[in-house]
Structure 1
Amino acid sequence: MASRSCALLLVLAMATTWLAADAGAGAGPVFNVTDFGAVADGKTDSSRAFLRAWMRACATPGRPAVVVPRGGSYLLHPLVLRGPCRGYMEVRVAGVLRAPPGLGAFRGCREWVHFSGVDGLLVTGGGTFDGRGATAWPLNECPKKRDCKLLPTSIKLGRVTNATITGVTSLDSKFFHVTVAGSHGVRIHGVTIRAPRDSPNTDGVHIQGSSDVRVTDCAVATGDDCVSVGPGASDVVVSGVTCGPGHGISVGSLGRYPGEEDVRRLRVVNCTIAGTSNGVRIKTWRGGSRPTSVSGLVFEDIVMRKVRNPIIIDQEYCPYASCRESEQRPSAVRISDVKFRNIRGVSATQVAVKLSCSEASPCRGLELRDIDLRYFKRGVSTQSQCAHVAGGVVGGTLVPPSCI
């Protein structure tokens, strides 16, 4: 079948619930997708087989596993893999899952593989989710067009709890690689994420509306943010991430839409950022009516390797050539209690620290401590720039000198 809507797949999910009737009661059974009709030729649509395996496993108590065996590639159209399930679900991807080319199969779908409403999930196996993004990137109008149609994310965790993704590769997503939304207790560990430097909007991991999320020991090389933290995220830890190329590790963008929730308690620690356009960044849109806040952020023990903007707060964000009248007003997002500690390395630009805060709501409670960022050209000093910063704390080594 050349294309399929998300709605049809959901109907299929309901139609196959009868398969649950003869599910075994034993713990730890394996449901190999090839036993349900999946074909490892990279051309035959194996979506129905994968969904049938999921339904059988989901109806099984204990720790069932849906297995995608090594040694082949499986074409997978958009799927919504729903819970709740009777046991702790494992999806063991040892082979290669391939997304359909282009966007024809994604009518009505904003995700490729969507785990929804699952409590207890492990995605592992050493295999690859190949989003085949190169077939869709030319269709992405978002970098230039304000009201654009978003391309599909490769993997979404939506309203999941107690979930782990580890030991897999996400390759060439059409849009974001992994999105965590409305979820709690998520661990993303030892994941490799790759897309070309010029691939648009291919964020590695995007977190929003979620709490207790940890992204650890991952290698991310994309055309956009390695990790992005959006509205409503709280208690997030990013640790041991190698980032580059891409746009760095970002909070935001924030303040574009009404009703956005606050961002609270983020810790980015022990990361290496290389060859990116930004290092650690907070970005908020100009304008906005309902004030939201960003607070309790710590960026610590981070190495920069030829990064263009190693430390940056940008509250004048508007990437379009012409900004709306509402976007001419200062940002309504309040930034406070943000600590930059032990950040060192090489800046690709002279302005290594840029804190451009909102005139309407100046940044408060910033801390710069033990910052050592040298310009890549010998004999030229780095600089810092501040705007609308209402005081703060500085200490230790400060290269460039603080502007707070």
Structure 2
Amino acid sequence: MEPKCILLLLLYFSTVAKSAYNVVDFGAKPDGRTDSTNAFLAAWAEACGDQNPATMVVPSGPFLVGRALFQGPCKNNKLGLIIKGTILGKTGYSDASEWITFKYVKGLSIYGGTFNARGQWLWACKAAGRNCPNGSTALTISQAKNVLLSKVKIQNSQNFQIAIIFSQEIKVEGATITAPGNSPNTDGIHIHMSSFITIIGSAMATGDDCISLGEGVSNAWIENIKCGPGHGISIGSLGDGTETTMVQNVTVSSVVFRGTQNGFRVKTWATPSSKGFVRGVTFQHGTMKNVGNPIMIDQNYCPVPGNCPNESSGIKISKVTFSDVHGTSSTQVAVNLDCSKSNPCQGIQLTNIKLSYKRKNHELAKSFCRNVKGKNSGFVVLLVAFDMGQENYVKIF
């Protein structure tokens, strides 16, 4: 190759190589005390404004960051955020609904790092019964497309740990999400009005749902999850207003629940004014370890007793499968399918279910089924734990 051609190639690759923007170069201090919010936003502005692939770098150390909106659209669709240190939220709390937000971005990859929102002050306020705000979501992905969260750690959010809203093609892999079991509303990952969402190989220990899917969620794949403590993996709650809602094409696979309030759950409000549907959902390969409600459809959800007297959910639930679910239930009703009297569940299928209930006065595990049309195949076995050979084969449908 001619020397001139080699020189041109070197010049070309030097222009397309990723530029790195280190937050320390913009004034951030890794001391956990200095407010580095503006430095982070300045580094983001440079990386986002770079027309070539770019990387924003957060080195080792604790960085104090307040409310921060990292906004696009950016001038490149190959933007990386590499976090080696810890991002600390400020102490106390405010009325802000979000802490760290990535909005209007496309082609963003976030690797590593710890986000510690330090939500203890707000939890204490709520525990004391004072007039407190709802709290901030630690990490929000909003109106974004093609975003990767890889090996991030989220800790002690005031409210939801991660929220994915109005977005498409979002992947979360290898996430570790932790908050005390008694922390209020600290869902691990909440998904709302989003499609083509993948969550794999992650662990959640929270004070609410490990993963919750709200209205407008479609084409979601959730696999290889460790959940507990927490409230399980839930679709809903849905239908608390008059708007039309839908959830469809969801698969939840290979989940280990440990000491959770629920396992696989669908819940809708008992309000006839609600409209919409849940359909095409598969819950499979679930391991239950002392779980309160391993399998549950609750269409009579009414958090405030007495507020929904003799009412019935307007949400239609169909084509929901529970397959290969085994382990132990901490309550006697291991399978609870309580559907709407005005909109009975259709096409519910149970396949290869084997759940046990720890013996108490020789009681057998039970199933509850109301307003359900479906079938079971393989086997459905409910048994007393530790009683060898004493099994109760239950025909649910």
Residue aligning to 2:102 = 115
Secondary structure of residue in 2 paired with 1:44: coil
Match of 1:137 among 123, 131, 143: 123
Counterpart residue type for residue 365 of structure 2: T
In structure 2, the CA distance between the partners of 1:158 and 1:288, relative to structure 1 (3 Å rule), is: farther
Q: Mapping of 1:235-250 within 5 angstroms?
A: 235-250=219-234
Q: Mapping of 1:211-226 within 5 angstroms?
A: 211-226=195-210
Residue aligning to 2:64 = 75
Residue aligning to 2:396 = 403
CA contact (8 A) 2:125 2:132 kept: no
Match of 1:304 among 288, 293, 303: 288
1:256 aligns with 2:245: no
Q: Mapping of 1:29-44 within 5 angstroms?
A: 29-44=19-34
Structural RMSD (CA):
2.0
Q: Mapping of 1:186-201 within 5 angstroms?
A: 186-201=170-185
CA contact (8 A) 1:140 1:150 kept: no
Q: Could you tell me how far apart the structure 1 residues matched to 2:65 and 2:314 are?
A: 43
Q: Could you tell me how far apart the structure 1 residues matched to 2:344 and 2:223 are?
A: 29
Provide TM-score, normalisation by structure 2.
0.90
Q: Mapping of 1:197-212 within 5 angstroms?
A: 197-212=181-196
1:100 Cα deviation from its structure 2 partner: 1.1
Residue aligning to 2:3 = none
CA contact (8 A) 1:204 1:222 kept: yes
CA contact (8 A) 1:25 1:60 kept: no
Provide TM-score, normalisation by structure 1.
0.88
1:148 Cα deviation from its structure 2 partner: 8.2
Residue aligning to 1:4 = none
1:92 Cα deviation from its structure 2 partner: 1.1
Q: Could you tell me how far apart the structure 1 residues matched to 2:276 and 2:17 are?
A: 46
Identical positions, percent: 38
Q: Could you tell me how far apart the structure 2 residues matched to 1:205 and 1:162 are?
A: 17
CA contact (8 A) 2:238 2:245 kept: no
Deviations 1:120-170 (A, max 9, x none): 111113x210010111113348x999x984311000000110001011110
CA contact (8 A) 2:243 2:275 kept: no
1:62 Cα deviation from its structure 2 partner: 2.9
CA contact (8 A) 1:384 1:402 kept: no
Gapped regions of structure 1 (runs ≥ 5): 1-23
Structure number with the higher strand fraction is 2
Structure having the higher Rg: 2
Residue aligning to 1:365 = 347
Deviations 1:195-238 (A, max 9, x none): 01101000000011000001100010001000000000000011
CA contact (8 A) 1:172 1:194 kept: yes
Residue aligning to 2:365 = 382
Match of 2:253 among 252, 262, 269: 269
Counterpart residue type for residue 122 of structure 2: A
CA contact (8 A) 1:168 1:192 kept: yes
Counterpart residue type for residue 143 of structure 2: R
